[in-house]
Amino acid sequence: MSFDTPNGTHGAHQPRASGPLGRLMTTMMVNRTRRKRGELMGGLLVLTTIGARSGAERSTPVRGFARPDGTWVVVASAGGGARNPAWYHNLAAHPDEVRVEAAGRVVPVTARQLHGAARDEAWAAVTAAADRFAAYQTKTDRELPVIQLSPRAV
């Protein structure tokens, strides 16, 4: 299956991460997440992608949910915003060029958007662990994409 969730028509306000202040805040959160080894906010990961248009490496802190099979799930919620976050488009463009930093280790992963029953199962686990994601879904008319990150051999 592909990355195929379109942007919505309405949703929560999405602050722009561009510009000097946005880049500084993202850098600070990435560095803090690395220092705390993901122990902030119950499981932050540093997701490193390749820019869809720029080709530049981008690191973003995201809430990750570890699964028993050794994969992670992340939700492209953008806080319930109308648009998918930039990292979603980066994953869609380069799903095999992704890294996750979790618990002090760096793991190359492959990204895959979940659909149907697999998405429903993962979504239920996410909302049970962090009910704010259910609240984000009520703010927008787009279905929040659920992405599985599977470790890959290097």
The Cα-based distances of 148 to 55, 121, 140, 145 in angstroms read 22, 12, 22, 10
For residue 13, being part of any structural domain is answered with: no
Q: Which domain holds residue 135?
A: 19-151
For residue 100, being part of any structural domain is answered with: yes
Size of the chain in residues: 154
For residue 10, being part of any structural domain is answered with: no
pLDDT of the residue at 40: 46
For residue 23, being part of any structural domain is answered with: yes
Q: How do 98-102 and 105-113 pair as beta strands?
A: antiparallel
Per residue in 53-63, pLDDT tens?
999 999 888 99
Return the CATH number at 137. 2.30.110.10
For residue 8, being part of any structural domain is answered with: no
- Residue 28: which pLDDT band, with cuts at 50, 70 and 90? confident
Q: Does the pLDDT value for residue 42 go beyond 60? A: no
For residue 4, being part of any structural domain is answered with: no
Q: Does the pLDDT value for residue 41 go beyond 60? A: no
Give the chain as a 3 state SS string. Answer: CCCCCCCCCCCECCCCCCHHHHHHHHHHHHHHHHHCCCCHHHCEEEEEEECCCCCCEEEEEEEEEECCCCCEEEECCHHHECCCCHHHHHHHHCCCCEEEEECCEEEEEEEEECCHHHHHHHHHHHHHHCCHHHHHHHHCCCCCCEEEEEECCC
For residue 94, being part of any structural domain is answered with: yes
For residue 59, being part of any structural domain is answered with: yes
Give which of 83, 28, 84 is closest to 60, Cα–Cα.
Answer: 28
Would you tell me how many other CB atoms lie within 10 Å of the CB of residue 71?
A: 18
Q: Does the pLDDT value for residue 151 go beyond 70? A: yes
Number of domains in the chain: 1
